[in-house]
Structure 1
Amino acid sequence: MNGFFNSVVYRAFMTYSTLLFDLDGTLTDPFVGITRSIQHALERMGAAHIPEAEDLRWCIGPPLWESFGVLLDSDDRAVQDRAVAFYRERYTTEGLFENTIIEGVERLVADLEASGRRMFVATSKPHTYAARIIEHFGLLPHFGKVYGSELDGTRSAKADLIAFILEQESIASTDCIMVGDRKHDLIGAKANKVAALGVTWGYGSREELEAEHPAAIFDRPQDLGSWVLTG
C-alpha cells in the first residue's frame, strides 16, 4: 500500500499532539544550494577531485562535518572546520535560497496547525539559516519555533537536538513524533524514545528508512497528513 509501513500497531493506540519536522529534503529541496556550496568548499580546500552534484546527494541530511570528513578523507576537526567555513562562504550569500518548497508541504502544515497540533522544525542546519529559509517560504507562522544546530556544530546530531527540543518545550516523548527523510532523523528520534515517520520524497531511500523501523513511511505529504489527522 502506498505510503504505509509498520503503521497498524501504532494506529491502534497512538495520537501525537506535537510534530518535529526535519528541513532539508522534508519541507524543502535544497539540492542546488547545498551541492554547489560543497563543490565551492572542496575547490577552496584544493581537493584533487570535485564530485558532480548528483554524486553529492548523500551529503544532504547529515551534519556537514561528517560529510566533509568523508569527502576529504580526514578525521581532523580543524580540516573539517575549514571546509565548513568555505561552504558557508558561498551558502550564506547564494546557496541559502537556491531551494524549493516540497509540493504539498504548505497544505500539510496548514492542515496540521488547524487541527491544533504543535509543530517545530528540527534540523541539523544552523538555526540562523533554517529560520531564514522557513520565513522565506512563508512557513514560519505554522511553527512554534525553528530549532537547529549552533554555528560551531553543537546539536548538529539529531539525537542531541531532539533531546534539547523536548527539554526546552516540555514535551513528553510519548506525545511527539519526528518526521524526516534520512536515517539520522529516525535514529535521533529513537534515541529519545520518540516515534518517527519517514518520507520518501527527500534524500533517503525506502530501504534506509525501513532499516530504522519508523511508525510509517509516506510517499506524499497528503498521505502523511491523513495519517496524523485520523489518529
Structure 2
Amino acid sequence: MRFLCLTLVLFIFSADSGWAYPSLGSTTSKEEKESATSESRFLSNIHQATLTGKRAGEGYFNSDGTLMVFQSERDSENPFYQIFLMDLLTGETTRISPGSGKTTCSWIHPTEEKILFASTHQDPEAVKKQEEEIAALAALIALCGKESPTPDPWDGGIIAVDSFMKQSVHDPSSIDSENCTVPRLTNKCWETSCTVRGKNAFGALVANRYTFYIGKDPQYPSLHLVLDVVE
C-alpha cells in the first residue's frame, strides 16, 4: 500500500483583506514559511479556510460565494474523506455525507438546493474496510514508533463509487447525515469527479473502460474519463 507524506490543506484566495480566517503569515516552521514565500510570487492575500482535521481535499464555492463544499479527513472512526459544507460568513461546518465509506468530488448545484458527491457508503463492507485501515495504520505507528503518513484514500484498485444528491444546501443544520436517504443517481463500476452541467442536469466523469490494468490486481479495469449526463 502506498502512503501520502504530503499534508494537504484547503485554502481560499480572497481579495478582501478583512477576511476573518488566519493568514499563512502566522506559520512558524521553516518549510511552511518557504512555501508561503514561493506562493506569494503568484498569489496574494492567501488565507487558510479549514482549521480542523488531518487534511482537506477538493473544495468548491456556490454561485454567490457564501458556501463552500469540500472533502476532509476529520473523523476518528473513519480514516477517509467525507464531504462537508462550510458557511463562509460564519465558519459553521456541517458534514453532509453519511459518515461511512469514502467520498470525493462534491459540487453545489448553481440554482437548486442540491449537492452532488461520490461515495462508497453503500458498500456493505465500508465500515469493515475503515476498521482494517485504522488497524493497519496503528500497526505501522507501533512499528515505526511515530505517527504514520496519511493513506491515499483511493489506493488499492477500483472502488464502487456512486454519485448522490443531497438537499438543504442553505439550511445545513437541518441535514441529518446519519439517517437521511440520499438519492442515488448512478450504478456503474467506478465513478468520480462529478460536476454540474448547466442548470437542469448533473454530469459525471466516469471511469469504466477496459484497456489496461492499474494497481497490483489485473482484475480491475483502467481509468478513462467518460461524460455521463444525468438529466
- TM-score tier after normalising by the smaller chain length: under 0.3
Q: Indicate the structure whose relative CO is greater, using CA pairs within 8 Å and at least 6 residues apart.
A: 1
- Name whichever structure is richer in helix by fraction: 1
Larger Rg: 2
- Name whichever structure is richer in strand by fraction: 2
**TM-score (structure 1 length as normaliser):** 0.23
**TM-score (structure 2 length as normaliser):** 0.23
